[in-house]
Structure 1
Amino acid sequence: MTPLIAVAHGSRDPRSAATVHELLDVVRALRPGLDVRAAFLDLSAPRLTDVLSAVAWDGHREAVVVPLLLGSAYHAKVDVPAAARHPRLSIHIADVLGPDPRLESAALRRLAAAGVRHDDPEVGVVLAAAGSSHAPANALVHSVARRWARGSGWASATAAFAAAADPGVPAAIERLRAAGAKHIALGSWFLAPGLLPDRVIAQARSAAPDVTIAQPLGADIDVAELVLQRYSAAVPAAIGARSA
C-alpha cells in the first residue's frame, strides 16, 4: 500500500507537532494497516526530506504527500513541491485540505464545544486565520465567514487575519459590535496551536476581555476523513505511474 506522508508547516511551539500527531492517530484508526507518517517543512522534526528517505529505505517506490494546509498559497505552491523530491521515489502530491465543508464543520464544532450557541443573536464570531499574501487563500476564509453570517442566528460573523491581510482581529471585533454583537467569540481557522493562533487570541482578549475562544481544528474526525480523501484521490495517479 502506498504510504501516506502528511506534511505540516512546523512550529517552535511543541503543541503544534503534538496536535499533528494526534490527528494522524485518528487517521490511522480510520484506516488500519495504512502506513501513515508525519513530516514537517520547517521548525519541527522529522523534516519531509528525512521521511521520504526513510520511506525509500523501507523499500517503497512511491509515496503520496498530503499537505496539512487549509488553503493553497505559498507553502502549497512552492515549499511542498520543492521538498517533496527523492531520487528513488515516485512522489504524488495530494490537494491541500481546503476548501471543503468538513473544515467548516470542524470549526463550528470547536465553537460549540467552547459554549457558543448557533442561534444566539447576541454573539458575533470572528473566524481567525493566518493570512496570506495570496489573495485567493484569504478569500476562502472570507467566504466561510459570510456563509456563517447568513446561515446562523448570530449577530454576524467576519474573517480576520493574524498577518499579511486585513482586517486584523481588533478591526473585525469592531465590525461585529457595529452589527449588534454584545458578545464576541473567536473561531479558529488554524489546524494546530502555535505562534499565530496565540497572536490572534491575545489580540481578541485585548479588544474583548470576555471573548470566548474556540480551539484549533486539531484531531477532529472530519479533518482526519478529509486527509484520507485527499490521499485516496491521489492514489490512482500513483498506480497509473507504476503501471505506465
Structure 2
Amino acid sequence: MAPFAPVLIAAAHGSREARAQKETDRLLTEIRALRPGLRVESAFFDIHGPTVDEAVAALRGAPAIVVPLLLGAGFHFTEDLPALLGPARAAKPLAPHPLLTEALTYRLEEAEARTGYPADAVVLAAAGSRRPGGNDGCYAVARHLSAALNVRRRGPVPVRPTLLCAGREEGRSLARTVRDLRAEGRTRIAVVPYLMAPGRFSDHLAAEAERAGCVCTAHPLGAQVAMVRLVLARFDACARLATVGDPADV
C-alpha cells in the first residue's frame, strides 16, 4: 500500500432515476462498512453533483483516488475523467475483472432461482459505447462469464453481448440475439443486464426479454458483495503505485 491514506472518490455516471441513485448510495455504504477506516466520497459525471473536479477540490489537497463506477472505457473515462482529475489519480474502469464475473454469475443464478429455469444461454445486455474500443471490456466479460459458467455447469453456456446504443456495426437488438441463439438450439435463454443500477435501460431490457420469451432477466449489478470488493480492488491497485500512472496500467 502507498505510504499515505488517499480518499476514495467513487465516480458514478449519474441518473435521473431515483432507483439508480439509491443503489449508488447503497454501494458506497457497503464500501464504508467493509473498509471502515477509509474515507469514501461520491462524485458524478452527469446529472448530479458534485462533479469529479468539485469532489477533488473539496479535499483541499488531500490525496485522492477516483474509482470510476463505469463498466467500460467510453467517453466519460477516456475524455471526461482526465480533464477533471486535477491532482487526484484514477483507477481503471470496473471491467474486466474476476470479481465482475463473480457478480454477474451471482445475478444470473439469483434470477434462475426465482423462476426455477436454469439457462442454457445468456444474453449480456449492455448500453454500449460508440467510442472506438469502448465495448472491448464488455466483449471480454462475456467471454469470461461463458468460461466460468462452462466450468460451473460442466457444459457449454454461450454468453452473447448485446449493445443497445453502440455504433451501427456493433449494435444489435436483444430479440435478434435471442433468435440467433434459438437457431443454435438454445431454448432457455436468460438476460443479464450489464448495468450498474436499475433504471430506464433495465426496465427496457426486462420488457424486451419478456417479449422475446426469455426464461428470466437478472437484476443489474448493484450493491452486492462482489461489486464492493471490486471497487476496493481497483482502489488498492491504484494506491500501490508510487507515482501517477496511466489508468490503463493501474
Regarding TM over 0.5, the answer is yes
Counterparts of residues 109-188 of structure 1 (less than 5 Å):
109-115=106-112, 123-149=120-146, 151=150, 152=153, 153=155, 156-164=158-166, 165-188=170-193
**Offset of 1:148 from its aligned partner?**
4.1
Q: Which residue of 1 aligns with 2:212?
A: 207
> How far, CA to CA, are the matches of 1:127 and 1:191 in structure 2?
13
Cα drift, residue 227 of structure 1? 1.1
5 Å-filtered alignment, 1:187-202, equals 187-202=192-207
Q: What is the deviation of 1:121?
A: 7.4
The Cα of 1:214 is off from its aligned counterpart by 0.4
SS state at 2:197 partner:
coil
Compute the displacement of 1:212 (Å): 0.7
What is the alpha-carbon distance in structure 2 between the residues aligned to residue 226 and residue 186 of structure 1?
22
Equivalent-residue separation in structure 2 for 1:11 and 1:63 (angstroms): 24
Question: 1:42-61 alignment to 2 at 5 Å?
Answer: 42-56=46-60, 60-61=61-62
Q: State percent identity of aligned pairs.
A: 37
In the alignment of these two chains, the number of paired residues is 230
Q: Distance in 2 between matches of 1:47 and 1:122?
A: 40
Partners in 1 of 2:105 and 2:52 — Cα distance? 31
Q: Secondary structure at the match of 2:185?
A: coil
- Flag structure 1 segments of 5+ consecutive residues without an equivalent: none
TM-score, normalised via structure 1 length: 0.84
- Could you report, residue by residue, the CA deviation over 1:66-85 in whole angstroms, capped at 9, with x for unpaired residues? 11111212211111122223
Partners of 1:93 and 1:38 lie apart in 2 by 14
> By how many angstroms is 1:154 displaced?
5.9
Q: 1:113 offset after TM fit, Å?
A: 0.7
Please show how residues 28-47 of structure 1 align to structure 2 within 5 Å.
28-47=32-51
The answer for the alignment partner of 2:83 in structure 1 is: 82
| 1:13 counterpart residue number | 17
Q: Which amino acid aligns with 1:27?
A: I
Mapped contact 1:127–1:157 kept (Cα < 8 A): yes
RMSD (Å) for aligned C-alpha atoms: 2.3
Indicate conservation of the 8 Å contact 1:155/1:180, yes or no: no
Partner SS, residue 134 of structure 2 = helix
What CA distance in whole angstroms lies between the structure 2 residues aligned with 1:47 and 1:32?
A: 24
In structure 2, relative to structure 1, the CA distance for the partners of 1:183 and 1:25 (3 Å cut) is same
Bigger shift: 218-227 or 141-150?
141-150
* Conserved 8 A contact 2:73-2:137: no
Aligned position for 2:70: 69
Q: Which residue of 2 aligns with 1:25?
A: 29
SS in 2 for 1:186: strand
Q: Deviations 1:80-123 (Å, cap 9, x if unpaired)?
A: 122223xxxx2111111111011011011001111269xx7763
